[in-house]
Amino acid sequence: MGQGEFDLIRRIAAKVSPRQETRLGIGDDCALVQIPQGHELAITVDTMVEGTHFLKGTNPRHLGHKLLAVNLSDLAAMGAEPLWCTLALTLPDLDPIWIEAFLEGFFNLAKSHHIEVIGGDTTQGPRAMTVQALGKIPIGEALRRSHAKVGDLIYISGPLGGAGLGLRMRQNLTTIQDKAAIDALECPTPRTALGQALRGIAHACIDISDGLLADLGHILNSSEVGATIDIEAIPLLTSVRSYCAATGDMEFPLTSGDDYELCFTVPSDQRGRVDSLLKQHQLEGRVIGEIVKNKGLHVLQGGRPLLLKGKGYEHFKNSTT
Ligand code: ADP
Ligand code: MG
């Protein structure tokens, strides 16, 4: 991209708040970091592609926020503390207004989470952005999908379906208007502090990016257990409740993705501790069910089994790859 590319990298570098564990940040062929003693590194990467993950014309400040937020959410789901990230930008042009807004959204969230940008890549092409994030976890304390136990309570950290409704609003597929749903879609809040607080308490944890059915399904498959959940126990925005009632689609909050709440399982004797943690972090999380021996996901409504039609979001589901 020539001179403009280096101007952009300089602008990014000027916004970085360095961490003491960093030996070398932006500017060389690689970054160099020192892994804090007694810790493992948690590493995750997520890409957002225009047309697939966001609509053309989405506010760039929200895109910058969300790109980092979805990666921080993965770190949170492992119980990791954010340390570093790299930022790969593929842009059709170097529109300074778009870039400034994007970087503002990105770096506001980066600063509040003390995560340092230590490198990246810049290329020209159809708009797509990737972040790789690294966080630290005391050795052996990561929250894995595979450790749920029969008898565990299943929690979610907050309301579901908000992002899905926000997307329908943006696509003019509903007459409901709710800023909270748009915020859930465009400015999700990663549950970073909660994830770390759940170390040593939760048996299993995942962040809900593809919908509760799909993501709780991952916990069940990797832990080789089943679950019973009560659809009426799931916290919902009032607008989502209205949407479900108006469309008759009660499954909507279970299958729509992009909410980035945590779903985690804890032994039942930890309930009091988890409830006060949620309160302390001002989250509307609650118990929605329990882990059972009988494989599969059993959804109850008013005590009766609900037959489900949908699944969560899956890329490539209509292709042969
Ligand atoms: P190289 O050609 O050796 O890969 P680049 O010219 O791509 O190096 O990048 C120069 C430096 O700027 C590297 O340290 C790289 O990590 C960093 N960098 C490039 N693009 C970005 C970006 N979008 N965000 C942050 N750092 C970047
Ligand atoms: Mg490069």
Say yes or no to pLDDT of 315 above 80: no
Q: Which ligand is nearest to the CA of 120?
A: 1
Q: Is 21 helix (H, G, I), strand (E, B) or coil?
A: coil
Q: Are 212 and 263 in contact (CB under 8 A)?
A: yes
Token readout for 319 is: 């292709």
Q: Which residues pair with 26 in a beta bridge?
A: 28
Work out the angle between the directed axes of helices 238-247 and 179-186 (0-180°, nearest 10): 100
Question: Which phi and psi angles does 282 have, rounded to 5°?
Answer: 55, 45
Q: Which ligand is nearest to the CA of 119?
A: 1
Pocket test for ligand 1, best of 9, 17, 68 (most atoms within 8 A of CB): 9
Distance CA 55, CA 16 (A): 28
Task: Collect all residues with Cβ–Cβ distance below 8 Å to 35 and sequence separation of at least 6.
Answer: 21, 41, 136
Distance CA 250, CA 263 (A): 19
Nearest ligand 1 atom, CA 25: 14
What separation in Å is there between the alpha carbon of 74 and the centre of ligand 1? Answer: 24
* pLDDT, tens digit (0-9, with 9 covering 90-100), for 83-125: 999 999 999 999 999 999 999 999 999 999 999 999 999 999 9
Q: Which ligand is nearest to the CA of 67?
A: 1
Q: Which ligand is nearest to the CA of 26?
A: 1
Distance CA 287, CA 271 (A): 9
What separation in Å is there between the alpha carbon of 119 and the centre of ligand 2? Answer: 9
Nearest ligand 1 atom, CA 28: 14
* pLDDT, tens digit (0-9, with 9 covering 90-100), for 233-291: 999 999 999 999 999 999 999 999 999 999 999 999 999 999 999 999 999 999 999 99
Provide, rounded to the nearest whole percent, the portion of the chain with pLDDT above 70. Answer: 96
Look at residue 310 in the predicted model and tell me its pLDDT: 60
What separation in Å is there between the alpha carbon of 122 and the centre of ligand 2? Answer: 7
Nearest ligand 1 atom, CA 27: 14
What separation in Å is there between the alpha carbon of 122 and the centre of ligand 1? Answer: 7
Low-confidence winner among 3-7, 181-185, 197-201, 265-269 (lowest mean pLDDT): 3-7
Which protein residue has the closest C-alpha to ligand 1 atom 7?
Answer: 121
Distance CA 155, CA 287 (A): 4
Q: How many CA atoms lie within 13 A of 201 on its CB side?
A: 22
Token readout for 234 is: 């799931």
Spell out the domains of the chain, with CATH numbers in brackets: 2-138 (3.30.1330.10), 153-305 (3.90.650.10)
* pLDDT, tens digit (0-9, with 9 covering 90-100), for 123-150: 999 999 999 999 999 999 999 999 999 9
Look at residue 321 in the predicted model and tell me its pLDDT: 45
Residue 241, Ramachandran bin (φ over 0: left; ψ between -120 and 50: alpha; else beta)? alpha
* pLDDT, tens digit (0-9, with 9 covering 90-100), for 49-94: 999 999 899 999 999 999 999 999 999 999 999 999 999 999 999 9
- In 3D, which of 262, 216, 217 has the Cα closest to residue 74? 262
Which protein residue has the closest C-alpha to ligand 1 atom 27?
Answer: 120
Distance CA 223, CA 228 (A): 15
Question: Cα 85 to chain center, whole Å?
Answer: 15
Query: What is the 8-class DSSP label of residue 144?
Result: B
Neighbours of ion ligand 2 (CB under 5 A): 121
Residue found under tokens 């990791």: 80
What separation in Å is there between the alpha carbon of 316 and the centre of ligand 2? Answer: 29
Distance CA 201, CA 274 (A): 8
What separation in Å is there between the alpha carbon of 24 and the centre of ligand 2? Answer: 16
Q: What mean pLDDT is predicted for residues 182-202?
A: 97
Spell out which residues line ligand 1, taking CB within 6 angstroms. Answer: 9, 12, 26-29, 87, 89, 117, 119-122
Q: How many residues belong to the chain?
A: 321
What separation in Å is there between the alpha carbon of 87 and the centre of ligand 2? Answer: 11
Task: Collect all residues with Cβ–Cβ distance below 8 Å to 72 and sequence separation of at least 6.
Answer: 82, 109, 113, 115, 133, 190, 192
Look at residue 309 in the predicted model and tell me its pLDDT: 72
